[in-house]
Every structure is written in structure tokens, then in C-alpha cells.
A and B are shown apart, each in its own frame.
Chain A
Amino acid sequence: MKYPKDNYEHPSVTKIGGHNIIGGLNRVYHCNFYNAYLQMAVLLTRGVGQQDPSDLLTDSVTPLIKILKQNGYTNLDLIQEFSYCGFGILEQLDELHWQTPRSHYGEVLCSHSKPHNSCYFTAGYIQGIVDKKIEEVECKLLDTAADKFIGYNETISLDNYLIYDFALQTEIPQVFAFDGCQEFNTQVDEVKIISELEKIPLCGNYNSPATGLIEVFNTVLTNHFADYYNRISYETYFALCDAGIPEEDSKEMFIQAGHVCAFNTFGRIMCSTEWYNLIVPMCQNKDDWLHGMVAIINILGWGVYRIEKIEVEKELIMRVYNSYEGIGFRRMYLPEKVGNDKNTSFLAMGAILGLAHLLWKIDIRDKPELTQDFYVKQFNNPDNSYIIEQTDSIITGDNYDRFIVSK
């Protein structure tokens, strides 16, 4: 049987505090650039201590599937939602064999190393469905017709890692309506932008030929589990710290993943027809482009982004209420785990810095071709590059995350 079926009813999405909750779990849109870089960062830790990064990438999703099942999901729901969320098309061949003829991780993931089996996430997803150990045995990245998975008659038991209650912030100020916010004069209407964008179906393609991929803005998105990202990021970060890697190098790997994501995906959005039709007519200057992109970020499930200050080409200050990293961290760990270190919302740091670079290092309004060569050329030249600092952090007990981009 092929999935998704034509009569598949999309899951209900509860939008609350900047989070997009499906089946009780926050989902966040991310692109193939981010997924690739993050997976690469995690795989660096192969051979470090007791940690096997392949297991981490696989097993971190399995408890989340278990939560969905506890919340009433059937196996069919899970198979169909795999496609809805842009992971591809998941098919069960027999009791022990599965395949994904189309898949995000098997097709659009890019990496610097030799191509290898890369569908760890999919294997972990299937593990959650069948409660058995699953291994990927063929991957489309190695030019096979499908990613293939085999199950073992070995029941697995993976504990839920979301072990602490931590509620979402409910008092989130409206745009520009908070103490300390600069007075902005802009025609950019975030409410209108969000309302219009919600009409665009950001879900896997079911039309023939169905791909189960979310291909928009010349990039490929997934509607992923925020907790999966958090688990693999922070476990890897702590493993690197435990191995004695200097904090700067460890953090930069994750910040760079967010930066690449912002540069490529935000950049492509800001060159898209949709952007020019909806947002550009509201824009007079670069500040407005920042406001417009922040409005779009606020539909991604990443929390609520609020610009506090813009001093053009000098400083950008951003607050993030309910940042998915901050909230997710507090549901997995105690704040003491990072001491008083504020610089720990890595994705947000990279994304905000990337956004500033799109307008202040290059000028995305000129519609440059966003190739890897272009990226390398820009960022091998330190001129006009910016740096980022996180001054407030939900992880350490602040009400929001706050970031300063400066030179």
C-alpha cells in the first residue's frame, strides 16, 4: 500500500506561544541545510566516550514516537504523518522490512564526508512504530533505488528524555510593545503576513507523483520534532565539552548550522515570488526586510521573535520568547547543566546572525545566486562580518532569550 492516501486528513496543529504543537509535541520547520549540518556536527563525536552518535541520531526520535502513540496515534497515523512532515514516503514491505522510496534524509542531505547511510532519523522513527531495533541497510545517497531498513527481533526500550515540566511563557508582548523596544516606523504588518502565509500548505507533497517532501522557496523543508533537534544538539555539545573541546569550537559547530540554514533558506525566501508579492510592497528599507523576515520566522514554531533594536549595519538586538531550544532544554535537563552560560541557544544565534549577514554583509535585495561558492567567498572574507552574543537565556532562568549582533 502506498502512503499517503488521498483521503489523509491532516493532523490538527495547535499554535500556542510561537510553538506549533502536533500530537502534543512541538514541531519546527527546518531546511535540508540545517538537517545536514546538524547531523554532520553530531557525527563528529564518533568514538568519544560511551557515545555513539549513530545511536543518538536514531534513538532520539523513538521515545517521541512512543509519546505520539500514547497520545492516540495509530501506526497508520504515524506512517502518514511521516509524509505530512516532509520526511518522505514510508512503506512497510513485510514484518521486518521497510523502505522509503523518497526521503528527505536519503536524497537532499549534503555532507562533507564520503556518502554513507544517513537515514538515522527514519530508522528511529520506524523503531518507535514497531518497538524493535531497526537498522538502515541501503541509502539513496549511495545511489540505491530506495532507503531500506531491516528490523530485528530485539525489543528496544528507550526512556523518555522529556522528564521535567516546563510551561510555555504566556505573556508575550505584541510587536514593538515592550519596555526597551526601539520606536520603529514601519509598514510591515506581521499579522497580515502570518495570515497570508498560513494559506500556503507547508506539508509533504501528496500530488502525483507523491514525494512526501516539502519543496518550497527552492529549498526542502521538514516539519521536524523540536525535541529531536534539542536532544541531538545538547547531548553532542555536552559530549564535546566532556572530551575537553574548547567551548568556542563546540558552540561554533552548532551556530554555523543555524547560520547556514538562515543564509540559504531565509535568503531563498527573500528572493522568492511569494516574498516579492507579499512582503516587498510593505518595505521601504533594509529594516523593513528584517521585520518581514522575522514575521515569517514566527510561523516556523521556533518561538516568538521580537526585534528590540536595529542600528543599521551596526547592531541588531532580538528577543525570542519561548525559544524552542530554551523550552526544550528545560524539559530535558536542569539549568545547572550549563552553569551561568547564556550562549546556549545555538540555532537562534546562527539564524539571527545569518539574517543580519543577508542584509548587512551582502545585500539580499540584489538577488545574488546563493551557491556554496558564493557562501564560501563571503565568509572567507572577514570584512563586514558580524558576531553574536546571547545576553539572556531561558535555560538559565530568564524570561526570554536575547541576542545582540554587532561587529
Chain B
Amino acid sequence: MQTSEHMLRTGRHGTLHEFGMAFADLKASTKRIDLAWSLAWHDIVSRYRGSILGPFWITLSMGLMVLGMGFLYAEIFKVPIQEYMPFVALGIVFWGVIVGVVTEGCDTFVHASGMLSQTSLPMFTFVWRTVLRNLITLAHHLVIVVVVLIWFGYWKVANLPMAVLGLALLMLNVSWVSMAVGIASARFRDVPQIVGSIMQFAMFMTPIFWQPGRMSGGRAHALLVLNPFFHMIDGIRTPLMGGQSGSGTYPILALLAVLGWAGAFTAFALTRRRIVHYL
């Protein structure tokens, strides 16, 4: 049980102690991951209370977008529909996860202010809550992925293990971003707006609607290599469509996850005491 049997809280004892406490918080949150799950599930239930389709409304609108864009842009770009439709479908669905985890990350701590200011729940619990909530939403949208892969016959060539690896790396990366913007948003209330703009900008800079192969130099173009979101999408979409992701994709994602978590965790360790006062 979290309401611990023994609680010891002290003043600052140097940076090492702060890291120790941050690590204890992380450990406690994984021990009570079921609480994060309950909160995430409750969020979904309460967000769509009284609605018949629930989260499938978003799936439906995404599906419509995929259909519309699929037909229109296949025509404009002069790409065969059986190649473009799955491409844009996978892009939109997985981009949705990235945007969801990152932008909702801004509210992670702000929305939990009530609980944070009167319980000793681990703060990481709320990070996982945001991440899990978006995984639940993704599970609904997977309908689109499955339909498209079956309809266009890609299920025969899809490399599922690689796609799962890609999804795992994507989640690892977006979750540290989510925590970092969560801390920043608690302190500075401009951050959610900034994050919103950046993500919108990133959507157009990332090959979601347009194919990376159309850039001069293809995948090696600097705008793609330097765009972490491209690697995140590429690590899932390409194997699902039976292709080979860029050779750098997975190593870059792994490196980014390690560096990002190191940075975000450091920020957390240093601000942990203060976050509750920001709110």
C-alpha cells in the first residue's frame, strides 16, 4: 500500500539525496502502477460519459480524415491509393499518440494539484496516468490500423515485432517529453501554448501526409534525420508496411530515450520538492 507504513521526510541533504528520493518516487509509482491505470481508465470513462461511441468518436473522425486525405492526396501526389492510404492512416494514428502524450503531459501535474497537495502519492503515478490514458485511446484507434492493413493486404508483409519495438521506443521517448513539459507547465503557464504550437508545426514538418521519399536525397535529408518525430513514426510505420526502417532509426530512438530520460529525470529530481508549490 502506498500510504506507507513508514514515512521519513527530511530537508535537503545535497543533490545525491534528491536523486535518491526521486528514484524512490519512481519505484513507488511502479509498485502502484495499478493506481495509475485506474486513474487513466477513470479519465477515459469520465471524458466520454454519456456518449454512445465513447473514444470511438475520435477513431471515427480519424477514420474519416484518413479516408478523405487518402483519396485526395493520393490523387494530388499521384501515388497509388494502396500505397498512400495505409501510409497516411498509420501516420495519423501514431502521430495522434505522440501529440496526445506530449500535449496532455502539460496538464499532468496541474490537474493533479488536489491529490499532490494532500497525499504522498508518487508524482510519477501521474506521468504514467497520462501515458496509459493515451495508450487506451490508441487501443481504440488500432481498429483503423487493422482495417487498413487487412484491406490493402499489408498484413502479409508486416513485420510486427519490429513495429512493436518501434512503438515501445516511441512511448519511451514521448513519456520523458511528457514529464518534462509537465514540470515546465506547472512552473510556467505559457508552456502549454508553446508546446501546442510546436506540435502543430512538427506535424507539418514530419512525413505524416507527405512521403519521405519525395525529399531530395530521400531519408538522408537533414530535415528528416534531425526530426525525432520522423524516427518515431518511421520505426512503426515502415515495418508495418513491410519495409525496412532507416538503419539509424532504432539506435537514434534508443539514444534519444536514454539522453531524454536522463535529462528529464534530473529536472524532476531537482524540482520534485517544489512542483507541489508551483501548482
The answer to whether A binds B is: no
> Which chain B residues have a beta carbon within 8 Å of chain A's beta carbons?
none
> Which chain A residues have a beta carbon within 8 Å of chain B's beta carbons?
none
